[in-house]
A and B are shown apart, each in its own frame.
Chain A
Amino acid sequence: MSVESTIAIFLNTVETLLPADMTVAALVQAEAADQPVAVALNQQVLPKRLWASTKLQRQDQVLLFQLVAGG
């Protein structure tokens, strides 16, 4: 039996292939290392303390947000 090695999620609305079992923490590290971001998983804000324990599932919708200048 083969082990599925990748899953497809939607990262900021773009379909993206990721290693299976990837956590949100690992995704943030890969996409936005060293900059402060907030994460929404399936339209819910995901607190930082849950990133390491949250494994991404097939078809998950992940949005990453950053701070920018604004009035």
Chain B
Amino acid sequence: MLQLAGHSFSSRLLLGSGKFASPELMQAAVTESGSQLVTLALKRLKPGEKSLDLVAPLQQAGVQLLPNTSGAANAREAVFAAELARELLQTNLLKLEIHPDPRYLMPDPEATLQAARQLVKLGFVVLPYCSPDPVLCLRLQEAGCAAVMPLGSAIGSNQGLQNRAMLEIIIEQAKVPVIVDAGIGQPSHACDALEMGASAVLVNTAIATAADPVRAAYAFKLAVAAGLAARQARCATPLRQASATSPVDALMAYLR
């Protein structure tokens, strides 16, 4: 089970709700994925603009909603967004994200750590999106975050795990769940993360923008389950030379 403060989740796949062609497609993909934790964002209401109801279909799908602080450019804005989200959804769960740079959407480590410390004091279950920096992840853990969410690669880039060595150190050191977030473009990337020992992955673009998002959700569900099972099985480690799987001596010795 994935444990986040007092919450338990059997699925190791978190889904982002962005970029789906319709709420119906999002709901179908969420259901197919088996995910139990789905992110939402906040936006200022535009008077007169008809908004799509996302909460009802997600609640019908039986998932826990995880608001994010996307759009916050500094710690103060992130804390404000968090308080709005808690008021709206009546949940302490929070994906903290502060990425002021629009080109690469890289998380601001200083602002993220500062906001995390404040939000933990305010009673939030803080899941910070962060750089794959082992020291930063330790600091976020010490600050009381319920997990760390290092990026695989840039948000929406589908480049997979571009910082494997750093992720391995983060996973080795972490006492809280490590959820690899961002950049996971293929089910094999998700499987890889779980095999490495990540507790979960968060996927959005790869599923939402697939030609068939529901089928993609199924593929990621399988990949995450496979990666977790492989980890639990402690599959064999690489060797530098061959190790025979069939008898190689004696059979044809008389011919030599």
The finding on whether chains A and B are genuine partners in a shared complex, rather than unrelated, reads yes
In the complex, which of the residues A31, A43, A64, A67 has the most CB atoms of chain B within 10 Å of its own CB atom? A67
CB distance from A52 to the nearest CB of B (A): 15
Interface residues of A in 28-68 (CB under 8 A from B): 31-32, 35-40, 43, 45, 47-48, 63-68
Q: Is the CB of B87 within 8 A of A67?
A: no
Shortest distance between the CB of B67 and any CB in chain A (Å): 7
Partner of A12 from the list B19, B46, B53, B83 (CB cut-off 8 Å) is: B46
Interface string of B98-120 (1 = CB under 8 A from A): 00000000000000000000000
Residues of B within 8 A of A (CB): 16-20, 26, 39-47, 51-55, 67-68, 70, 80, 83-85, 87-89, 155-156, 202, 204-205
Known: A40-B84, A45-B87. 9 other contacts (CB 8 A): A12-B44, A64-B44, A65-B43, A66-B44, A67-B42, A67-B88, A68-B42, A69-B40, A71-B17
- Chosen A-B contacts, 23 in total, with CB atoms closer than 8 Å, are A12-B44, A12-B46, A31-B45, A32-B45, A35-B53, A36-B88, A38-B42, A38-B85, A38-B87, A39-B87, A45-B84, A65-B43, A65-B84, A65-B88, A66-B42, A67-B43, A67-B88, A69-B19, A70-B17, A70-B68, A71-B16, A71-B18, A71-B70
